Amino acid sequence: RVQCGCGERSKMASAEATGKLKGLCAECGVPATKRCGNCRKYGVCVFYCSAEHQKRHWKEHKKSCGARAVAVEQGQDPTATCSRCLQLVGEGGGVCRVEHPVRLREDGHMCFSQEEDRRSYSCSACNGSFMVVTYRTDGRVEYVGDRWCYEGAHTTKVLPEHDERRVRPHCVTLDQWKTGAELQRQIEEVDENVYSITIMGDDYIEDPEGVFDRKFPKLESLKIQVAPLRRIHLTAATCPRLKTLFLDNLLDECELTMAVPTLQNVSLYFWRAEDRPEAVVDMLAAASNLRSFESYKLWSNRHLRFVGPKLEYIRLHRAESLEHLELWAPNLQKLNLQACYDLRRVHFLPTHPLAKKLPANYRCPHRLHINVENANLSPQARHALQHPPGREVIMQGLASDDEQDMGFGMGFGG
């Protein structure tokens, strides 16, 4: 075998074209001019005198064919598994490529025309952004921007736990379904020991037959976006390890339960079930380890109560029904009440039984960032937000007294 450098490839191509590139047959040792085609793609020369001898030698040669030869040259075991892409180090030309994890992908703007569909995304694993262009005429797909979450050398080293630029085993994505019944079948087929489940759709479907109430004892991350589920039942019994929950555009009639004590990060977008406020209330009561709560157009609750020693971030953007907010969150650093149009009462609770979970001599963060841009605040809510006990407030978007007095109760906003 001859490993050829980049500077030698033009000479090789010229010699091969003229029939002057020769070597010894890897099977019998006689002079030969025929080469292994797969090895040739990677600049590796392995010769054979005939197709018969190439077939005879394959059992031995396949251990170091093509890309595997490159791995050997780089000092790696070609039969080892890359800890990032989970492929053999000797596969793929020595290049490790990882797709953007769907569970960590955030939707951006969309643009549709007669010729093509354009969808933009950002990836929290690599902090990259990209656009997927689908052509309607032939179904061709093109990527613009950061095509891969990771592209580089294979590695067999143990990756840091926080590095999500990898293919994680036991992560399931359900996005190839056309009906609610088909989605339900796929949910039932998922292995109960999965770590992450992502369910995604493009638009509402008329038959909301799906139910998500199975027991997943090892599930830590669940993302459901535009899915025809009429019932989602998440409890300590069904998902005892669930930490991250992302729900977007659920059906208005969906029966939602998410009372899971282990929840740490919750995102809830476009939840309009005004007749069922208990779904959010029960979740907040159960999730004593909650670190962040993020919502957009949460219309189900007039009263919300956040209590937790670990809570750092609350976003209630356009919680248009919210009238009363109670808070005991000594570690809270950011509170976003943008476009809350009818916020009448805000109370910072002086203490709570969960205070016993705080370390001895604990001191809360000094500064609290609050965004009230386009919010409609009563005088009491305004004063409470400006003067939380023991905190210095960095306020954003606070209207003047005259503007606030004119606006309160009129439901203006933007």
pLDDT tens track for 342-398: 999 999 999 889 888 888 888 878 899 999 999 999 999 999 999 998 899 999 998
> What three-state secondary structure class fits 85?
coil
d(CA 313, CA 289): 13
Q: What is the mean pLDDT of residues 264-283?
A: 91
Instruction: Identify which of 15-24, 111-120, 256-265 has the greatest average pLDDT.
Output: 256-265
Task: Reply yes or no on whether the pLDDT at 20 is more than 50.
Answer: yes
DSSP helix, strand, coil percent of the chain (3-state; round to 5): 20, 30, 50
| The predicted structure's pLDDT at residue 2 | 39
Instruction: Give the tens place of pLDDT for each residue, 49-84.
Output: 999 999 998 888 876 676 565 555 555 565 678 889
Residues 189-211, buried b or exposed e (16+ Cβ, 10 A)?
eeeeebbbbbbbbeeebeebebb
Contact of 141 with 134, CB cutoff 8 Å: yes
Indicate the average pLDDT of the chain. Answer: 84
Among the listed residues 127, 78, 87, 80, the one whose alpha carbon sits nearest the alpha carbon of residue 106: 127
d(CA 296, CA 277): 15
Q: Radius of gyration of the chain from Cα atoms? A: 29
Retrieve residue 174's tokens.
Answer: 């359900």
Burial (0-12, 13-18, 19+ Cβ within 10 Å), 249:
middle
The tens digit of pLDDT for each residue in 147-172 reads: 999 998 888 888 998 999 998 888 89
Residue length of the chain: 414
What's the whole-model pTM score? 0.73
